Structure 1
Amino acid sequence: MTSTAEATPLIPRDALFGNPTKAQGRLSPDGQWLSWLAPKDGVLNIWVAPRDNPDDAKAMTSSTDRPIRQHFWAPDGKSVNYIQDKGGDENFLLYKVDVATGEETTLTPFENTRVQIIGTSETIKDSILVGLNNRNPQFHDVYMLNLNTGESELVLQNESYAGFMADDTLTVRMAFRQNAEGGTDYFKVTDNVVANEPFEATAMEDSLTTSPAGYTTDGSTLYWIDSRGRNTAALYAQDTATGEKTMIAEDDKADLGGTIRDPKTGEVEAYSVNYLQNEWVAIDPDLKASMEWLDERLDGEFGISSRTDDDQTWIVWNDPLTAPSATYIYDRAASTLTPFYVARPELEGAPLQPMQTVEITSRDGLTLPSYLTLPPGSDTDGDGRPDEAVPMVLLVHGGPWARDEYGFNSAHQMLANRGYAVLSTNFRGSTGFGKDFLNAGNKQWGLKMHDDLIDATDWAISEGITSESQVAIMGGSYGGYATLAGLTFTPDKFACGVDIVGPSNLETLLSTIPPYWAPLVKIFHERMGDPNTEEGLALLKAASPLYKADQITKPLLIAQGANDPRVKQSESDQIVGAMKEAGIPVTYVLYPDEGHGFAKPANNIAFFGIAENFLSECLGGRAEPLGDVLEPSTAEIVEGAEHVKGLQDALGS
């Protein structure tokens, strides 16, 4: 490590992974109230305050265990609503809190049920459409739910569809499900009866890059993000009466992403393109003027997180990249930008490092959009490369049908602060870069998808960023799988690995998916391998790190949530058992009250404390001592406490 890096203050784990001071600011539809998430007795809850007196805040919920992580206002502004599961089981129920009385109600009081929000309305203010799978865990029936009375009425019983879409009148207009080819069929719904034949369909190659994006308020236009007949997904408007489509926007490098819609008409006012960085393109002149006004005053990335019904007041988030994110109240008419809160004020003045965008070429010529963060003081001439090679962590995203993005990243910042370069690479199979890039990952788990990660590592070595013996691999979900693949398929490539809720056996992974994923199972078979065929089963077994566990020669840390419905605990248990049987050391951390990732800050902080001390032993970087970090967490060290610096002492404290 450079002397500058060693002299850089350690950013405390708590500051990066603990509760934010405030988060997820929202405005009530009439603009009279502000809401946000903030700790109450150490747990994130919903707070509400008058718009004209934010200091007069009141906690509206009293969660004492699991943090509330998302909330929204009822269209009539009479209540704030949130969804919550139990212990990470992803059986989300819908709750409401009456703003006037503070009374809290469970709107979907069912066991083993996962609620979906199917439709909300600008004109029907007291009701929404929800999907409930309490009758059949595989399929969500559609109900009209009155948010004020809590009464629900069955609209459509579902026997085979993966989802539905409604218009502003809360009339179900569309149903969709997978077809035999692994694509999606879209059916018109009339008077709550689904048509026999689809009016639109995709093949498997377009199944993850084509989807309807909603109706205008009057129902005359249906928007699509559509890759059919092209590579990158473009934005189209379809006349619902004639079926005619008109292209609104396209980009040759990236799929069109999100849209900003007029709150009253539902018409698209702006769209986003996210290749290396996210960029908004405004169509509406008034919105364009407001976005340009904000761009002149805010550094880094920004966006709109909440708008009033009259569209005159916005909540705007801002990510300055090397400072903690901030949130503002923007009055469009008065042209004022009022500070609302800084999410993590303890990071103000901290040595946060800039994230670089880089393009890496794979061995077969694909361009891999990637992100690099360097340790403080390592790049004195500012050329984007360290003065001398430093240890590196290859941080792999989950999904795999997801992507890494530009912006503040707590893991990047902690690892860079500890003395590591951090590289995140969008390998083939990642979304957002066109269907050719996505489909290049089909049935390539452990094969070309893994080759891309090796190529990214070799690029970093060739650029002098790191050296061959100093690279760790780390990630969650698919990133955890990639870690296991890295240490089994290419056992000499990485110095160590950190696997967070990663599958080790693709056959058992597919046999234990949640029941509500059953309507989508074809996509897993087409993109990973079909276990019902001899060829597919052989492919899945060949790509499963479990069967090569005896090849592991480098240190491995595994972390798992016991309630994970996607990657069951058995996925980690299996490979830990195989390693023990082969006499190979492993450290295994289990959280009995977590699911697919760690929602509770105390658990997240404990995990990163263990991880940074594990990496320090392996790569020689810095680490904040463990101290008593385990005490407030539920972490159980199932195996290998002796392999992490200070872990046995922490368990004894």
Structure 2
Amino acid sequence: MAIISLEPYLHVRTAKNPVYAPVGNKLSFIADYTGLPQVWELDRGEAWPAQLSFTKDSITLVKYVNGTSNLIIGMDVGGNEKQQLYLLKKDSTLIDLTNSPEHVHVYGGSSPDGKWIAWSSNRRNPSYLDIYIQNLETMEIRLVYSENGMFAAVKWSPDGKSLLIQKTNSALDNNLGLLDLSTGVLNWVTEHAGEASFKNAHFNKDGDHIYLLSNKDREFFGLALINLQTKHFVWLELGEWDFENLEMNKDKNKLAFTINEGGISKGVILDLKTSYLYTWKTPIGVISNLKFSPDNQKLAYVFNGPAYPPDIWELDLRTIQAERLTYVSRTPALNERLIEPELITFHSFDKLQIPAFYYQPKNPTKKQPVVLYIHGGPESQSRAVYNPILQYLLNIGYAVCTPNVRGSTGYGKTYTHLDDVRKRMDAVQDLVYLVEWLKVNRNIDFEKISIMGGSYGGFMVLASITHFPKYWSAAIDIVGISSIKTFLKTTSPWRKKQREAEYGTIEGDGEFFDRIDPLNHTDRITSPLLVLHGENDARVPIKEAEQMVNKLKERNHPVEFIRFGDEGHHFEKLKNKITAYTEIVQFLKRYIGN
């Protein structure tokens, strides 16, 4: 099969966030048909979706206002993550609701009568999120809960008199409580000892119970029911993998969720009347954004697999047959070219078993150069999804491996905490042992091993090339952390406390940071480095890239730096993706060939 250019891989469009209109046979979603994520509407009577929003910045959120055809959309400026909320009317009129561009706004849903919305914001203090409600007719904004902490509105109660709210203690620990909007009284309902998370909560019809996912007192997320009066907690379904994406239908008699089996999704429907569980077939990939239709006969979702870029699918709940609704990602030039991975495992220095996805180029004729691609987070997971740059590298003869080193989610609480604070470098050692495993078990070229990662994955790249320099022929750092110490000083105030729970604090762990921070060991780097970063990055400020690049330039080390003035922590605009990924490919060709 002849090699094709990078362009078709980058021009693959994606669809996400499907939401059914409360009335009519319509479904809205976010897609980047135009090169910029916008809101589109699919009417079953029409052959092609219609564009509803026409903004200069990316749409980050879309939700219908209950009982209306109006939409709430979210948007930030140039990826700065200071999301503002807008009311998008049927005629595409856009009304600014929050109008506070210096602050973050996290949407919390519309009231049952569609007159109010809830959101949280750091307006009072940059370090904390308080809860507000806003009237969509008068635009009145009310502060309904304020405390020094990270709070978010989860759901309105069925009677509209209360809000289910969440307090985030760390990325892996939270509480849910019921806030009475007339009295301001907050009643916590998820009391627990030790770390636990409670997510994807849904009220039953009477509003006296909630269904949710939790990992309270266990390694993995299961399905549970909580009585809001007695706080009695009951498990309904459990497994040996995490349950994800819980959704409930309008009639309150069906639940849908997914099971994350080592980075691959399985979809599940639970009939609450019969307790019957059933699933449906999908290719290798990840199911997300589950949404029941108002008539309770369909289930929309996003399917994203290595060979199936993100599109919206719909499951008929009567026949249990899935149909692809959108063809946003359809690219005939890539037919038969996209490659699915195999799941491998290897043992690290302490005999811990580490999982990874390994992608093999089609019809290899010689030893291949290999690219290790490291996920961010660190409390995240490499999943079996479409990635344009990885698929293109496979097309031109590179092997690709995406490991889930210790600290990744999806393998239980204990595994996720194995890289906390002073254990940080244990995860970096996992990468070394992966390379050694690949040398023995796969047909790779030992002299052409490169490493690439974004965000925390960028830190892993920089830590690898400073602490274990002999293994790497080239390295690519995308919006990465070069010093945990300087990162904690400059990241957004409302994110800092959550990050400290994972990384440690400057006061208590500063000396350890000094020992491991890549910025302090640039003299050890032997591989050429490519750095890419967005100037508007609120999570990992661009200073992290600049200080690393400057140090390497001082010693005339091969380093290339591309900065994007109109991007943040994620590269959203097509023109910037083309620039970034083209340079990644050229960089790898220059230094390790193919």
Give TM-score scaled by structure 1 length.
Answer: 0.82
Letter of the 2:84 partner, please give it: L
| CA deviation after TM superposition for structure 1 residue 548, in Å | 0.2
C-alpha contact (below 8 Å) 1:445/1:528 kept by paired residues: no
The aligned counterpart of 1:278 is 265
Q: Secondary structure at the match of 2:344?
A: strand
Cα separation, partners in 2 of 1:529 and 1:334, compared to 1, 3 Å: closer
- The correspondence for 1:76, drawn from 61, 67, 70, is 67
Q: Secondary structure at the match of 2:444?
A: coil
| CA deviation after TM superposition for structure 1 residue 590, in Å | 0.8
- Counterpart CA distance in 2 for 1:350 and 1:269 is 32
C-alpha contact (below 8 Å) 1:183/1:202 kept by paired residues: no
- The correspondence for 1:50, drawn from 43, 52, 62, is 43
Q: Secondary structure at the match of 1:475?
A: strand
Letter of the 1:135 partner, please give it: R
- The correspondence for 1:129, drawn from 108, 118, 130, is 118
Cα separation, partners in 2 of 1:335 and 1:54, compared to 1, 3 Å: farther
The answer to which of 591-600 and 349-358 deviates more is: 349-358
Cα separation, partners in 2 of 1:350 and 1:584, compared to 1, 3 Å: same
The aligned counterpart of 1:404 is 382
User: Percent identity over the alignment?
Assistant: 22
The answer to which of 545-554 and 123-132 deviates more is: 123-132
The aligned counterpart of 1:465 is 443
- Counterpart CA distance in 1 for 2:96 and 2:396 is 44
| CA deviation after TM superposition for structure 1 residue 413, in Å | 0.9
The answer to which of 604-613 and 103-112 deviates more is: 103-112
- Counterpart CA distance in 2 for 1:548 and 1:591 is 26
The aligned counterpart of 2:500 is 525
| CA deviation after TM superposition for structure 1 residue 216, in Å | 1.6
The aligned counterpart of 2:346 is 360
C-alpha contact (below 8 Å) 1:269/1:287 kept by paired residues: no
How big is each residue's C-alpha offset from its partner over 1:301-344, in whole Å with a ceiling of 9 and x where there is no partner? 55664432221234344456435555445554588866533222
- Counterpart CA distance in 2 for 1:568 and 1:287 is 52
The aligned counterpart of 2:585 is 612
| CA deviation after TM superposition for structure 1 residue 400, in Å | 0.6
The aligned counterpart of 1:342 is 327
- 1:374 and 2:360 equivalent? yes
Q: CA RMSD in A?
A: 3.0
5 Å-filtered alignment, 1:64-143, equals 64=56, 66-99=57-90, 101-121=91-111, 123-143=112-132
Q: Secondary structure at the match of 1:135?
A: coil
| CA deviation after TM superposition for structure 1 residue 18, in Å | 3.0
Letter of the 1:27 partner, please give it: Y
How big is each residue's C-alpha offset from its partner over 1:226-249, in whole Å with a ceiling of 9 and x where there is no partner? 334333333322222222221122
> Paired residues, what number?
587
- The correspondence for 1:441, drawn from 415, 419, 437, is 419
C-alpha contact (below 8 Å) 1:131/1:143 kept by paired residues: yes
- 1:309 and 2:280 equivalent? no
How big is each residue's C-alpha offset from its partner over 1:374-398, in whole Å with a ceiling of 9 and x where there is no partner? 11212xxxxxxxx753110000000
- 1:61 and 2:34 equivalent? no
C-alpha contact (below 8 Å) 2:309/2:329 kept by paired residues: yes
Bigger strand fraction: 2
The answer to which of 539-548 and 76-85 deviates more is: 76-85
How big is each residue's C-alpha offset from its partner over 1:177-220, in whole Å with a ceiling of 9 and x where there is no partner? 539x99656555445535598861453xx2xx522442424332
The aligned counterpart of 2:13 is 20
| CA deviation after TM superposition for structure 1 residue 280, in Å | 2.8
Letter of the 1:464 partner, please give it: R
The aligned counterpart of 2:546 is 573
- 1:508 and 2:479 equivalent? no
Cα separation, partners in 2 of 1:37 and 1:269, compared to 1, 3 Å: closer
Q: Secondary structure at the match of 2:8?
A: helix
- The correspondence for 2:184, drawn from 193, 203, 213, is 193
How big is each residue's C-alpha offset from its partner over 1:581-636, in whole Å with a ceiling of 9 and x where there is no partner? 22322101111111112111110111000000100112212xxxxxxxxxxxxxxx
Give TM-score scaled by structure 2 length.
Answer: 0.90
Letter of the 1:200 partner, please give it: E
The answer to which of 39-48 and 587-596 deviates more is: 39-48
The aligned counterpart of 2:158 is 168
- 1:238 and 2:226 equivalent? yes
Cα separation, partners in 2 of 1:21 and 1:388, compared to 1, 3 Å: closer
Cα separation, partners in 2 of 1:28 and 1:108, compared to 1, 3 Å: same
Cα separation, partners in 2 of 1:563 and 1:371, compared to 1, 3 Å: same
Letter of the 1:370 partner, please give it: A
How big is each residue's C-alpha offset from its partner over 1:504-530, in whole Å with a ceiling of 9 and x where there is no partner? 111110111212225xx1x43343222
Unpaired runs of at least 5, structure 2: none
The answer to which of 156-165 and 42-51 deviates more is: 42-51
